C-alpha cells in the first residue's frame, strides 16, 4: 500500500484496515503517494494550500474524494478538500 494511505498507527490506516477491502487501485496513481503525507495531514492551523495544489493536478481526485466521503475520512486533505470542506459538502448533500 502507498505511504500516504498507510501510515502505521494513523486513524486513516486503522480505518482502512477495519473495513471490507474496497477498490484502492486508484491510489497507485495518486500524486500524493509521490510527495509523502506531510502536506496532506498538516498540523492543526497549518496551511493546506500545497496539498490542494497537488490535488488539483491529480487525475485520481474524483475517486479520492468519493473514497473519503464514502469512508467518512475525518482527517487530512482528500480529493482536494480539507476536513471542513468535506464536512460542509456532506451536510449539503444531506439537505
- For residue 8, how far is the Cα from the chain centroid? 15
Task: Please indicate if the annotation marks 3 as binding a ligand.
Answer: no
Binding mask 59-88 for ligand SF4 (x = CB under 6 A): -xx--x------------xxxx--------
First to last CA, the chain: 36
- For residue 5, how far is the Cα from the chain centroid? 8
Structure-block grid coordinates of residue 37:
503525507
Name the binding residues: 32, 55, 58, 64
**Binding interface with ligand SF4 (CB under 6 A):** 30-32, 40, 54-55, 58, 60-61, 64, 77-80
Which residues contribute to the annotated binding site for [4Fe-4S] cluster? 32, 55, 58, 64
Amino acid at each position: 500500500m502507498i505511504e500516504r494511505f498507510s501510515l502505521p498507527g494513523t486513524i486513516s490506516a486503522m480505518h482502512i484496515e477495519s473495513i471490507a477491502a474496497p477498490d484502492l487501485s486508484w491510489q497507485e496513481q495518486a500524486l500524493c503517494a509521490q510527495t509523502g503525507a506531510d502536506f496532506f495531514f498538516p498540523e492543526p492551523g497549518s496551511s493546506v494550500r500545497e496539498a490542494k495544489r497537488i490535488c488539483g493536478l491529480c487525475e485520481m481526485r474524483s475517486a479520492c474524494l468519493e473514497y473519503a466521503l464514502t469512508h467518512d475520512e475525518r482527517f487530512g486533505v482528500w480529493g482536494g478538500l480539507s476536513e471542513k470542506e468535506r464536512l460542509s459538502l456532506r451536510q449539503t448533500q444531506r439537505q
